[in-house]
């Protein structure tokens, strides 16, 4: 479910529009829609960063442990 920047930006824009509708029209269902779009954007972003970020953190920790003699 990896996404490019445009897909994530589109979902975030959708969330902003739904939240604006909810505030303007006092409709709780629009807040739900905004939250759903935001959750999808976060999930796509997490999957995009995912494993490569994890590998970088592991490598940095291993390097730190080696340098510090831990």
Residues of the domain holding 50: 5-68
| 50 C-beta neighbours (distance < 10 Å), count | 12
Distance from the first to the final alpha carbon of the chain: 37
Which tens digit of pLDDT belongs to each residue from 42-60? Answer: 888 777 766 676 777 788 8
Which tens digit of pLDDT belongs to each residue from 14-37? Answer: 989 998 998 899 888 888 888 888
pTM greater than the 0.85 cutoff: no
Q: What is the pLDDT of residue 50?
A: 62
Exposure string over 4-19, b if 16+ CB within 10 A, otherwise e: eeebbeebbebbeebb
Residues in the chain: 70
Number of domains present in the structure of the chain: 1
- Spell out the long-range contacts of 32-39 with Cβ–Cβ below 8 A and sequence spacing 24 or more: 37/11, 37/12, 38/11, 38/12
């Amino acid at each position: 479910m990896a996404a490019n920047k445009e897909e994530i930006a589109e979902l975030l824009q959708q969330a902003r529009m739904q939240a604006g509708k909810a505030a303007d029209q006092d409709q709780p269902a629009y807040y739900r829609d905004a939250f759903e779009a935001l959750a999808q954007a976060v999930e796509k972003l997490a999957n995009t960063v995912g494993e490569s970020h994890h590998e970088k953190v592991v490598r940095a920790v291993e390097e730190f442990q080696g340098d510090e003699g831990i």
